[in-house]
Structure 1
């Protein structure tokens, strides 16, 4: 019975994370006319308790502004990063075998434990991600914080 309860809890947590990361359905937003996706993107370095640096690419203008507000001190709400892992290297995040899919990146104050892990731990257990470890490939390092914005690599 205990194993069933644990499995149900993991499934419920994964479903909650999927809904949280997906966000509410919205109509098509107008994009910056004449700008390419690369021009509209911003790159930030985040770190966690391990002090390992990880580069993220953000494409949503509101989230880019939130990240800049965090760095400038204009806000302290939702300081941690959450997103879905893509198990491939990205040119801007070459040090790691994975990156966060830009369209899934968001910020949070609190999250459930099932998505928490340090960057090196995710790297070392990447083959397990998507199962009981980081269900749905959602990663929300609780100690994550942005440390700086970098130019487009």
Structure 2
């Protein structure tokens, strides 16, 4: 029963992300120079870089890396189907305005980085509905500094 309640809570969180304000409006709340970048990995040991712009999410990411918390260690958010300068290895990246952290999520949004890359044309339909991606084995590796 507890597992069902956890999944329902995760489903509610994903639904809340889907109906929150527009990403442009959310992004306008945070200045670009306040962004932080974090390398993350998954069960495949591949790595990607996520851009965080929300001060609360940045603080949470840093607390995870410092070992100050182990709560909500995984990343989810809406995919953008194009590479980003800070994540050039992949043909996709997270929309920074939608990135959040989670403990457990529904199976329909789980996939590894290589699988997303190989099936990117299907993302947003039956695969990763709404473009929401929540890799269950994701975890932050380190904060990275980008060169201008």
- Verify same fold: TM over 0.5: yes
Q: What whole-Å deviation, never above 9, does each CA across 1:113-134 have from its counterpart, x for those lacking one?
A: 0000000000000000000100
1:21–1:82 contact (8 Å) kept in structure 2: no
Could you tell me which of 58, 61, 74 is aligned with 1:64? 58
Displacement, 1:87? 0.3
Distance 2:13 2:63 in 1: 25
Task: Kindly report structure 1 stretches of 4+ aligned residues shifted beyond 6 Å.
Answer: none
2:40–2:141 contact (8 Å) kept in structure 1: yes
- What SS is found at the alignment partner of 1:92? coil
Displacement, 1:46? 0.5
Q: What whole-Å deviation, never above 9, does each CA across 1:59-112 have from its counterpart, x for those lacking one?
A: 000000000000000000000000100001100000000000000000000000
CA RMSD across the alignment: 2.2
Runs of 5+ unmatched residues, structure 2: 1-10
1:19 aligns with 2:22: no
Distance 1:130 1:80 in 2: 20
2:18–2:130 contact (8 Å) kept in structure 1: no
Displacement, 1:21? 2.1
Larger radius of gyration: 1
Corresponding residue number in structure 2 for 1:87? 81
Displacement, 1:39? 1.5
Corresponding residue number in structure 2 for 1:113? 107
Q: What whole-Å deviation, never above 9, does each CA across 1:38-67 have from its counterpart, x for those lacking one?
A: 310000000000011010000000000000
1:69–1:75 contact (8 Å) kept in structure 2: yes
Corresponding residue number in structure 2 for 1:10? none
TM-score by length of 2: 0.82
Could you tell me which of 126, 130, 135 is aligned with 1:136? 130
Displacement, 1:16? 4.6
Could you tell me which of 89, 99, 120 is aligned with 1:126? 120
Runs of 5+ unmatched residues, structure 1: 1-14
